[in-house]
Amino acid sequence: MEQPQVSPVETALPPYNLNEEQEKKEIIRHYRALLRSLKSKLKKGDKELVRHAFEMAAEAHKTMRRKSGEPYILHPIAVAMICVEEIGLGVRSTICALLHDTVEDTDISLEDIEREFGTEIARIVDGLTKISNVIDTNTSQQAENFKKILLTLTDDPRVILIKLADRLHNMRTLDHMKREKQLKIASETVWVYAPLAHRMGLYNIKTELEDLSMKYMEPEAYKDIARKLAETRRERTRYINEFIRPLKEKLQHANFNFEIYGRPKSIHSIWNKIRKKGVAFEEVYDLFAIRVILDSPPEREKEDCWKVYSMITDEYMPSPERLRDWLSNPKSNGYEALHTTVMGPQGKWVEVQIRTKRMNEIAEKGLAAHFKYKEGSTNTDEDRFDKWFGQIREVLSNQDTEGVDFLQDFKTSFLAEEIYVYTPKGEVKMLPTGSTALDFAFSIHSAIGSKCIGAKVHHKLVPISHKLRSGDQVEIITSNKQKPSEDWLGFVVTAKARNKIKDALREEKRKIAEDGKYILQRKLESMGAAYSQYNIDELVQFYKLPSSLDLNYRIANKSIDLKELKDFQVLGDKIEIPRPKPVVHEQVADPTPKSLNRKDSELIIFGESSDKIMYALAKCCNPIPGDDVFGFVSTGKGLVIHRTSCPNAAQLLANYGHRVVKTKWAKNKEISFLTGLKIVGLDDVGVINKITNVISGDLRINISGLTIESREGLFEGTIKVFVHDKEELEELVTRLKSLNGIQTVDRFDAETV
C-alpha cells in the first residue's frame, strides 16, 4: 500500500482569529503535546527545567506576534516539537529550541540563560543567535557568520539541527510573508539549508524543505506536479499492490520480520528529473520507490539485506547499473541501504530500497540517531561524521577565504554527494562528487597537490583535471618543477585544494609584487615624493584596487602605467590626486533586439509606485512577459531581470538578497521578446513546412532563426521567435506538440538566445 506523503501544497494557513482566553488554551495545548512527545526521554527534574524554559520564553515573547497574527511563542514550541518528533533530539535541545529567539528578540541575555540552565545550553543558544544574524546582511558579513555557525556545528551539531527545525517551521508558515521575502527565504533554503539537512542525514526534512522552496519559487510547476500526483494516486496504489504481492509471500515464507510499502518521490525530485532528462511527467518512471524495512539483529543486518535483494531479483529482473550498495560503504552522513531498480509488471522500472529498522531510523533522524547508535559501538565507520567535522575545521582555520567564495566552496566541498576513491595501497578516500585527480592529490597532502603533473587511474595516464568516479584507484605523478597556476582553480571542487592553490598564488604574487614596490619607490622619489603609507593609500584609491599588494603586482606586470603620475601635484612629500574630469553619462543600451519597438522602459512596474526604470534582460534565462521574475541590481549593468526559475536564481537570491528588487510585468502588447524553443521529433517529409506554417501562418509569430539537424530518422531543431508574452509562447508550444511526429517542445532555459 502506498504511504501518502503530506504534500505542502495543501497547507495554506487559515486566517488567525482567537480571543485572549482561546489563545492561552491554544498555547497550553501545544505545550502539553510537546511534553507528551518528550515523555520517554524525561529524567528526574527534566520536566521542571522544560517548564521553566517554556515560561521564560512565553513571558519574554508575550507582546510579540508572527506575521499570521498568532502569538510568537507558538513558533518556539513548534520548533521544539520538530526537534523531538522529526529529528529525535532530547530534553536539552528542547530547552534550546524554546529559548532560541529570546537573546536576539527580547530582553533576556545570554548570561540569564547561563545562570538558569548552565553553560552547555547557553552555548547552543549563542550559536543559534549567531545564525539568525546571517539573514538580511551584506554578503561578506553573511559568509563570516556562516563560518561562525559551522565552527559551532563542529563543537555541537545540535546548533544546526535546531536551526534546521527553525527553518522548516518558517518554511511551513511562509504564506504570510511578502512575495520578495518568500523568494529570498525559499532560495536561501534550497541553496544552503536543504543540502545541509541532507548532509546531516535528515532526508525527510531535506525533501520537505526542497518541496516548500519550490512551492514559492516555481508555483506553477509545483501545483501542476502535485495535481498530477493526486490524480494518479489510485492507479499507483493498484500497481504497488500488484508489485508487492509476490515479494510479501516470499519474505513471509522465509520468516522475515518486515514492512514493505510504496512511497511517492518528492515533487522537487520529480521536477528535477523532468528538467534534466527533458521528459514529460507521464514519462518519469520512478514516481515512487518501494521500501523494505527488516527487523534484523545487528550481526545479521548485511546478510539479511542481501538475502532480500536476492529474493527480489529472482522475482523481477534488475538493471545492473542501477545497483547502489551503501551497506559495504555507508555515506558519510551515516546513510546505509541497498538500492536497486527492477523491471516490474507492465514493463515499468521500479526502485526498491532495502534497509533495517536501525538504518531506517538513521535515514530519517540522521545525526541524532547516528549518535544514539554510536554509543557502545566499535564500528570504525561510525566516526565518519567526526571526519567530516574535522575537514570543516581545517578549512575554517584558513582565515583568508573570501566571503562568497567560502559559501560556494562549502557547498561543493561539504554538501555534495561523495565518491570513494582508493590510493595505490588500497586506502579509501572520500571526496565530493565532481572531484578531479588534483583534488585527490591535495587530499593526500598539500605538497603532493602543489607538485602534481598528472595521475594514473587504474594504471592509465590521465590529466590533473580528470574527473574521478567512485571506485577509481588513483596514483599521483609529481614533479619538483611544477607549481600551482590560476587555471587550477577552474577545475578543483574541494575547499582544501582551492585554499592551498590560492595560498600558493598569493605567495607567487607577493614575490612579483616586490619588483613593483621597487619600481614605485623609485618613481615617487624621482618626483620628490616619499614612499609613504599615505601616498600608497592615495594610489590604491586612485586605481580603485583592493590593496597595496595588488598595486605593486600590477605595476610589476605592467598592467598599470606610472606615466599617469606626471599629472599629480607634490605638496611637501605628499602626492595630490588630480581632480577628475566631468563624467559624460552614456545612454543605457537597449536590451531588446534592434528590430523591436523602442518602448522597453515601459515594460516593468516596480513596487507600488509604477516608476518606469531602465533594465536589461538576463542572458542566462531570457525572461518574457508573464514569467515569474525578480530584478537584480548588478554592479556595472544596473538592473537585470531574471526568471525565478533561472539556473542562477537560487544563488543570487540567497547570497545577495539585499540587491533584489520586486518586479512585475506591465501590460504592453506592442513589444516582442526574443525566446527560443527546442523541438525533437520523427524526421518526416514536410516536417519543417508544418512547423513554420503553425508559427508564421496560423499564429503570425515572427521567426528570428531556425536550425534543423536530422540523424537516423530523428530530427532536432532550434527555433528563435519573437513573442509578446508567456501566454503566446504557451499557445505556440501546445500547437507544435499537437503536430504528428513531434515528440517534445521545450523552451530554452540557460542558453543565450
DSSP string computed for 48-104: HHHHHHHHHHHHHTTT-B-TTSSBTTHHHHHHHHHHHHTS---HHHHHHHHHTTHHH
Q: What is the largest CA-CA distance in the chain?
A: 99
Q: Which of 490, 433, 431, 441 is nearest to 462 (CA)?
A: 441
Identify the helix (H) or strand (E) that includes residue 575: strand 574-576
In degrees and rounded to multiples of 5, residue 611 shows phi and psi of -70, 140
Q: E strands within 300-408?
A: 317-318, 324-325, 338-343, 349-356
Q: For residue 424, what are the CA distances in angstroms to 47, 353, 434, 689?
A: 56, 33, 20, 60
Radius of gyration of the chain (CA): 30
Supply 704's cell numbers: 528570428
Which candidate, 645, 591, 2, 37, places its Cα nearest to that of 287? 2
DSSP code at position 467:
B
Please tell me the distance from the alpha carbon of residue 527 to that of residue 32, in angstroms, as a whole number. 80
Is 628 catalytic? The answer is no
Q: Please, what sign has the CA dihedral across residues 96, 97, 103, 108? A: negative
CA angle 422, 426, 431 (to 5 degrees): 25
Q: Which of 104, 286, 417, 475 is catalytic?
A: 104
Contact between residue 443 and residue 496 where contact means Cβ atoms under 8 Å apart: yes
Q: Which residues of 397-419 are buried (b: 16+ CB within 10 A; e: fewer)?
A: eeeebebeebbbbbbbbbbbebb
Cα–Cα distance measured from residue 9 to residue 747, given in angstroms and rounded to the nearest whole number:
25
> Distance between CA atoms of 499 and 495, rounded to whole angstroms?
6
CB distance 122 to 74 below 8 Å: no
Grid cell at residue 364 = 530519517
How far separated are the first and last CA of the chain, in Å rounded? Answer: 47
Alpha carbons 260 and 265: distance in angstroms, whole number: 16
> What is the C-alpha to C-alpha distance for residues 277 and 275, in angstroms, rounded to an integer?
6
DSSP letters for 399-442: TT--HHHHHHHHHHHHSS-EEEEE-TT--EEEEETT-BHHHHHH
Count CB-CB contacts under 10 A for residue 65. Answer: 13
Rounded CA-CA distance 593/575 in Å is 48
How are beta strands 288-294 and 349-356 bridged, if at all?
parallel
| Residues in CB range of 14: below 8 A, 6 or more apart | none
Residues 6 or more apart whose CB falls under 8 angstroms from that of 138 comprise 658
C-alpha cell at 629: 521574475
| 573 belongs to the catalytic site | no
Please tell me which residue in 26, 105, 156, 731 is annotated as part of the active site: 105
Ordered alpha helix ranges (H), 641-750: 649-655, 687-692, 726-737
Task: Give which of 264, 155, 146, 139 is closest to 196, Cα–Cα.
Answer: 146
Question: DSSP secondary-structure letter at 325?
Answer: E
Whole-angstrom Cα distance, residue 474 to residue 444? 11
Rounded CA-CA distance 167/484 in Å is 40
Active site residues: 104-105
